[in-house]
Structure formats: structure tokens, C-alpha cells
Structure 1
Amino acid sequence: MTDAEPSANRTDALGEALPYLRRYARALTGRQASGDRYAAAALEALLEDDSALDRFPPRIALFHVFHRLWVSAGAPVAETPEGLEAAAQRHLAQLTPNSREALLLHAVEGFPLDELSQVLEVSQEEARDLVEIARREMSDVTAGKVLIVEDEAIIAMDLESVVADLGHKVTGVARTRDRAVELAKVEAPDLVLCDIQLADNSSGIDAANDILEALGERPVIFITAFPERLLTGERPEPAFLIAKPYSEEQVRSAVSQAMFFSSTETLRA
């Protein structure tokens, strides 16, 4: 194997990991633009000083460098702390440092505890404790109203159960774009949990945009079997994105994170 081949493999691995770093960064900040800035800064820092690649595999190295930048910046969230965003800032300030990051990395991004410890520069025991602390602290988030937009009955029932277990009220379940908008206008949700492809071939993205246009900005979590199609960086992307098949913990973590924020980036098809 030539020296060029390991370098090419590293580059490919970083390219594959970058969209998911951007997803993680947006979940931390609540906005696409700010999340993308931190993700880009992490990649640039790693390319300038690739010593982390000598210690870790590319994916871990990229998230590791991001975390160091994130901590050095003071772990900020959305840039405009107004309304519920101000409440989010106050709540986040009370959380144990690194706990929210640990939960997202473990539950949503799928880092096992040994890799999580490398990203956060803590022991595996500390990483486990941070995840457990985050679960407890995030469970204290104020209960809200959630609209589920999902055309598969079994998945919709599963999501209803998870949302209810978190203490939130499900305002309705919609299988189509039109029905989603109708239900949202009857009882305005605090959060929309939305599939991408709906029963009548309508778009969950369009449904979410219609709801946001009618009711104002609020968090939206998109669920899709093809997350890579929405993580291209070529157009506006959702702040919160779960891949199918999902785990209950992924949904619980994403819902808890999203409830901290009063707005999401709309996603235009």
C-alpha cells in the first residue's frame, strides 16, 4: 500500500463523517448556520493540524477536534436569545457541562462509550456518568404539545408512546401534508415530529414549512430512511434529523433537545 492510499482513505472517512458532524452541531446550537460554522471550523483545524488523526480514527478525530473548539468557545447555542430561546439559555446554563453533548453523541450519533470518552477527553466511567446525568436533567424539560406527521401506523403509535412517556401531549397524528396543517391549526404544537415521505406522496418537508408559515417558527424533528439526502450542505437543512430505523433513545434525546429551542431552520425542497 502506498503512502497516498492511507491519506486518501482518511480523506474519504472525513468526508463521510462531516455531514453527521454538521447534524450534531446543529442539534447543539439549534440552527443550521451556527452549527455549520463550528463544523467547518473543526474540519479546518484538523486539516491544519492533523495530529489527532495519529491518535484516533478519522471520525473520532473530527468530533474530538470539534469538541475542543466547542468548549473553548463556551458551548454557545442560538445567536438570538429571545422568548423560549432565552429560557433555553437559562436552562442550558444549569446543566452539567458536557452532559448534553454526551447524550447527543451517544444516543443520536451512535458513539459507544469507549469512543465517546475519546471525543470528550474523559474516562469511560465519566462518559457513562455524563450520559446518565443528561438523561435525568433533560427529562426535567417543560412538557409541551407535539404533532406527529407519519404515514406508517406502527411507527406513529411507537412515536406516540415515546412522546407520551416523556410527559408531552400528542395533539394528533397526520398521514398527509394537508391533514398535518389542518391539525396544527386546530391545536398549535410546540414541536413537530415529521416523516419526509407521506401517505399520498406529499412531502413532510412541505408540511412542516406550511405549519411554520401559518403558526410561526417552532422546532421540527425530521425522520427519514435516507438522512444523507438531507445532509448535502447544498440547501437549507433541518436542525434536528433522525435516521430510520431509529431507536427509542434517539427519539427521546432529539425531542428533549428540540424542546429547548423555539425555532428551526425551514427546509425548502
Structure 2
Amino acid sequence: MSIAKEIAPHLPYLRRFARALSGTQASGDAYVVAMLEALVADPSSFPRGFDPRLGLYHTFLKLWSSVSLNAISTGSAETDRPSAERNLEALTPRPRQAFLLRTVEGFSIEEVATIMDISASDAAGLIQAAGQEIAEQVATDVLIIEDEPIIALDIETMVEELGHTVTGVARTHREAIALVAKKRPGLVLADIQLADGSSGLDAVNEILSSIDVPVIFITAYPERLLTGDRPEPAFLITKPFQPEAVKAAISQALFFDRRAGRKAA
């Protein structure tokens, strides 16, 4: 199969990645066109050792590092652009690449490492660095709804390592509502099955009836949420979880959700 046929299904997603990376669609498309022109001129430059999608992103990032096209103006005012796009530009380049590959494009840590020509541990480190930089921009107050003390402590530690503040840990539906009444959170991390038999899902639904806040579900029962009906949660972590997955979800939820409340300076 020709390179063109192999990469064609993935080009729309690469355009999305290029836009997020460069800040504008015009600039991102300029990079994509430059990469395609380079491949036409030298097809042998396309790596054949792994999956075509990985090869496409790998080739793109090699070009990204070697040319400067993103000075192209789209004519749009800075204030017209979504805040998440403006925030992305504040991230240092390599963590930004790793963060987008992992959270927007959905690559695994190992795939991110392959695309970026680094080790898996280095890729995880870049994503964590991005999370810390993001926390500096969108640091917020976090409510944890979790009835297992050890798990709650682990989650609290991860939240604080990213620079956020835990407003409280609720073990029941009633405790969760009471904590929200005391201090409005900018993010909720919620289990589904709670200590007294109450439902974390019911607690979240009640919270969302009064405030608008991003929610990440961390549960051993994902089938209770992934029913095929809408709406389904945008952020769902299955227990047992990897700390890196939780941190990435926190960063993604806050970074791309402008509803998240910023902490007062």
C-alpha cells in the first residue's frame, strides 16, 4: 500500500493536533502541507518500522522541530481564540507535545515515547511536567468523593502534587453536598459506590444541578457509566488506576474546561 493511502485516514486528526500545537488552523495546516511535500520529495523518509499513524505523527514532529512556519497570521484577534488554545502556548514545547499526544490524540505513554523518540519514562515525565505547568495556570480547589481512606489519600496526594488544593474528602452523598455548600470546588473527583451504600453518581448529579464544574469519575464499576446512553462522562478512570492516568485526566479536565474555577491569587 502506498504511503498516501496509509496516512490519508489519519490526516484530519493530524490537522487537529497541528492546530493545537501551533495555535491556529492556518499555521497547523502549513506544517501539515510542508510535511506532505517533504514526503513527496523523499518517500523513504517515512518510517516503516511501526504503525502508519505513529509514523505520521513521528514524521510531523521531526518537521515541526526543523522549520518555522507558525508565524502565519490568521487575521483573528487574540481575544477571539479559545482560552485553552492561548493556554497551550504558555506550555514549554516538549511537555506540550507529549500532553497533546496523550490527552487529545489518545496515544499511550509507550506510543508517545515512540513518536517523540524518547523512553517511556521520559514521556511520562514530560506529561507530568505539562500537568504541573497547567496547574500553575488553572490551579483550583478539588473535592474528592471517595469512601476508601487509602485510595482517598492517594488521590489527595496526586492532586496536591499537581499544585491544586483539596477542599475536603466526602465518604457519602450527604457529606459531598455539605462540603460543596461550604466551598465551591473547581473540580470534582468521584467514586460511584460510597460507604453508606449511597451513590457518588447521585451526589454528582445533585452538585451539577446547582453549580457548573468538571467531574472525573474514578471507579471500579465503569459499566454503570458506560451504558451507551448520553450523556456519558467525559473523564472516566477505572480502578485500579495508574497515577499518571489520574494526573493526566485532572490536567486535561481543567485545561480544556473553562468552567474550572481558578484559585484567587
**TM-score band, normalised by shorter chain:** 0.5 to 0.7
Q: Report what 1:191 is aligned to.
A: 187
The partner residue of 1:174 within 164, 170, 173 is: 170
Q: Report what 2:108 is aligned to.
A: 111
Shift of 1:174: 0.7
Equivalent residues, number:
189
Q: Report what 1:235 is aligned to.
A: 230
The partner residue of 1:132 within 119, 125, 128 is: 125
Shift of 1:172: 0.8
Quick one: which amino acid aligns to residue 100 of structure 1?
F
Identity %: 44
Shift of 1:171: 0.7
2:221–2:238: 8 Å Cα contact kept in structure 1?
Answer: yes
Quick one: which amino acid aligns to residue 220 of structure 1?
V
Shift of 1:65: 11
Q: Report what 1:93 is aligned to.
A: 89
TM-score, normalised with respect to structure 2: 0.59
SS in 2 for 1:173: strand
Q: Distance in 1 between matches of 2:143 and 2:229?
A: 28
Between structure 1 and structure 2, the one with the greater Rg is 2
2:226–2:232: 8 Å Cα contact kept in structure 1?
Answer: yes
The partner residue of 1:220 within 215, 218, 223 is: 215
1:218–1:262: 8 Å Cα contact kept in structure 2?
Answer: no
Q: CA RMSD in A?
A: 3.7
1:193–1:223: 8 Å Cα contact kept in structure 2?
Answer: yes
Bigger relative contact order, structure 1 or 2 (CA pairs below 8 A, ≥6 apart): 1
1:123 matched to 2:123: no
2:109–2:123: 8 Å Cα contact kept in structure 1?
Answer: no
Q: Report what 1:144 is aligned to.
A: 140
SS in 2 for 1:161: helix
1:259 matched to 2:259: no
SS in 1 for 2:163: coil
Q: 1:116 to 1:165 in 2, by over 3 A?
A: closer
Please give the per-residue CA displacement for 1:223-264, whole angstroms capped at 9, x wherever unaligned.
111324423432211111111011222222221222211359
1:103–1:135: 8 Å Cα contact kept in structure 2?
Answer: no
Specify every segment of 5 or more residues in structure 1 that has no aligned partner in the other structure, as ranges: 1-28, 30-54, 72-82, 265-269
Specify every segment of 5 or more residues in structure 2 that has no aligned partner in the other structure, as ranges: 1-19, 21-48, 62-78, 261-265
